[in-house]
Amino acid sequence: MKAIKVFNNNAISTVMPDGREAIVLGKGIGFHKRPGEMVDEQRIEKVYYVQNEMQTKFLQMLQDVKPEVMEAAEQIIAMAEKDGFYMSNQATISLVDHISFAIERQKRQMALPNLLLNETQLLYQKEYELGRRSLQIIGDCCGVTLPEDEAGYIALHLVSISVDRNAAYSILKFVKGALDIIKETYGVVPSQSSLDTMRLTAKARLCPPAPRLRRSLLRQKPRPRPRPGRPLPASITRWP
């Protein structure tokens, strides 16, 4: 195989043995490489067969994104796929873009609070754990420490692989609205580890609420605090 275009030290385009053009990634695969030179196939770690409608965006990403960001993204993708998440080309582009912008925001000290972080931790524990581990990978590859909020954002990228992103956000907002009503009505904070809270989040995931109910919860006005002595579920912790 011969190199068609060299993007950086770790990414080139080539024609595969089956005749299809592809972008191949691998540590040092493009180092001192020029178009027309043979590709060291032993260095190939990832192959992307890019469809025509995505090719321009994918190539632009490789030219704009720093190699260390691509390296971090590749490690995160490998980790996610090892845990059963299939990363499509579109998901890969979205993740790389997010990491690149997150690093840029952090360098400029531009905070982007994740208002649904707690709900993400509750609903998508596996994805959040991968997001948390991703921050370590980004720190090791790029030398930038990202805030915990970014673990939640990366988790939602993984969620969107199997669930529509809008649906995922709707479920998160529904759970946040339900927990806010409990807090405002009873004057208590539901414990994230309580059985009742886990049941609520599990049901919201498996049986997403109807749009009318979601809108009703999100518009709900605070209710009066209960009279002293009103019984509370044992799994709920009192408001401090």
Tens digits of pLDDT across the chain (240 residues): 888 888 888 888 888 888 888 888 888 888 888 888 998 888 888 887 766 556 666 767 777 788 888 889 888 988 988 888 877 777 777 888 889 999 999 999 988 888 888 878 888 888 999 999 999 999 999 999 999 999 999 998 888 776 555 666 676 777 777 777 777 787 777 666 565 665 666 555 555 544 544 454 445 554 445 555 555 555 444 444
Q: 215-222: list long-range contacts, CB under 8 Å, 24+ apart.
A: 217/174, 217/177, 217/178, 217/181, 218/173, 218/174, 218/177, 220/177, 220/181, 222/184, 222/185
Q: Residue 153 is encoded by which pair of tokens? A: 């954002």
What would the two tokens of residue 139 be?
Answer: 């720190």
- The pLDDT assigned to 190 comes to 66
**Residue 77 CA, distance from chain mean position:** 11
pLDDT of residue 166: 63
Closest by CA position to 94, among listed 121, 117, 122, 65? 65
Q: 5 in helix, strand or coil? A: strand
Rounded CA-CA distance 219/119 in Å is: 18
Q: How far apart are CA 233 and CA 8, in angstroms?
A: 59
- Reference 178, options 151, 160, 170, 156; nearest CA is 170
pLDDT given for residue 237 in this prediction:
45
d(CA 87, CA 89): 7
The model's pTM is 0.59
